[in-house]
Structure formats: structure tokens, C-alpha cells
Amino acid sequence: MKSSAKINCLLWALLLAFQAHAQDVIHKKNSKEVRATIVELGTGEIKYRLFDQPDGPVYVEEKENIEKIVFQDGRTEFYGTARMDDAQLFEGQKKSALKISFLGPLIGYTDLIYERNIKPGRSWEVKAIIIGLGKQYEDEARGFIGTAAYKFYKKPTFYTGDMKRTHLLQGAYIKPEFFLGHSSYLDYDEEDFVTSFYSEPEPTRKSSVAGGLLLNFGKEWVFDNAFVLDLGIGFGYGTGSSTRSVYVLSDNNIGFAMTWALNIGWVIK
């Protein structure tokens, strides 16, 4: 009898343990958890019973109020905010992009940009600005500026149950950016020239080290997981002098700096 009682107790404990495991857990956005049995999954709502009331009433909850559901078989389904930042939803998408300034060569420079996604909503970016690679003007500016930036992509102001980012590298963003480089240009200030009756003034070449910090605002689109279009503008502080890509007017003191972007490119692995 004692052995039979022990076996019955063990079986009952195993049954309870199985039942405790075989439950669905609803994680709401208000941080509450509901142990339930899912009755129906609709397009915009779910229906469930409380786990400890298997014959109780059926409750209805909008999906937009739910962060995720962990089902009894271990499968997890995300909604809303969690869905937008779930890296598994972007498997198969390329995470890097090579871009180039579209109009830069017409203004006397070329930007070469590499962007790499870290996780949904976050990327880092480096840029090489080659001054003089493009159309030349009277100042014959040339030089090099390097930049490093971190991009924060904006989330929508509201969520629906099935919303997610369409691509890791797509969306409105804010981008802090550091820049540092050296450039030179011809100075046509006539006060510095020694002229004569028989000769034209000769310009002098001046050089400057430019550096500073920009805060960029923009938006990036990715078409067919291939073509990239990036539009943006940035403002900040700088020192030195630069008149290509990053514009710095400071007279070697801390002054105003700005930039703008119309970049195109391709996403790569």
C-alpha cells in the first residue's frame, strides 16, 4: 500500500509539473504576465482562458497591448516593440552598405561611406572625404577628411500587432559624427600679392587642419534589399577651415560647421 501511494504521489507530481510547463505565457507591455491557454490567435487580437481556470471565461486582448507570447512548446511570438527589435525577423537581410556622394564630384569632392548594422535600430558608419576628386574650381582645393559616426534609427510613434522594420538600414535617424582632416586651397586675397605692371597677382596656397562634431538628421531608404538612398543634413561645432563636404568657418577658433548628404549605394553582406 505504501509503495502504491508513493507511486501515485510521484505520478501526480509529474502531472502537475507537465501541466505547469504546458502553459502559454502572455507578456504584456505593462510588464504583467498572464499564464493562460490560448484559444484563438486573430489578426488583431487573441482569445485565451486563464491557465488555472480551464473551464472559465474566454478573455480577449488586443495584440497591440502584448509584447510577446511564449507558447507551451517553447515557441515565442513577438508583437509591437519587441517585434521591431527582434533580430531573427531580419535573417537573410544584408547588414552593410557602401555609399558614395551623388553630387559631390560636381562640387569638387567625393565621399566614400561604409555603414554596418550592429542590431535593429543601431549602426556605425565611417566616411572618407577626398577633396579634389571631382570638378576643380579656382581655389584648387584638395585634401582628406575622415569621419566616424553612430546612427540611431527612429521607431514609429505607435505600433500595430504585425509591424516590423522593413530593413535593418532603413528609416529616419539621428547621427552624431566626429570629423578630422587636412585640406589646402589657393588664396586669392589681393592684399597678400605683390603685383607689378607686367604680371598678374599670384595666389598663395594655404592649408588648414579641420576637426569637430556634427549632429546629423536624415532618412535612409533601402529598395529591394539592394539599392540605398540616404538624405541628411548636419550642424555642429568645428575648428580650422574646410569648404568641401564638411563646411567649417571658424578662423582657427571654435566655430560653426555643417554638412549635407545625398548619397546612393548598394547593400552588401
Measured between its terminal Cα atoms, the distance across the chain in Å is 68
pLDDT at 94 over 80: yes
Confidence label for 161 from pLDDT (cuts 50, 70 and 90): very low
Domains of the chain: 2-78 (2.30.30.100), 92-268 (2.40.160)
Over 50: is that where the pLDDT of 1 sits?
no
pLDDT in the model for residue 182: 94
Q: In degrees rounded to 5, what are phi and psi of residue 139? A: -75, -10
To the nearest whole number, what is the mean pLDDT of the chain?
Answer: 84
Tell me: pLDDT of 62 over 90: no
pLDDT digits (tens, 9 = 90+) for 114-140: 999 998 889 999 999 999 999 988 888
Is residue 27 a contact partner of residue 68, using CB atoms and an 8 Å limit?
yes
- The DSSP 8-state label assigned to residue 192 in this structure reads G
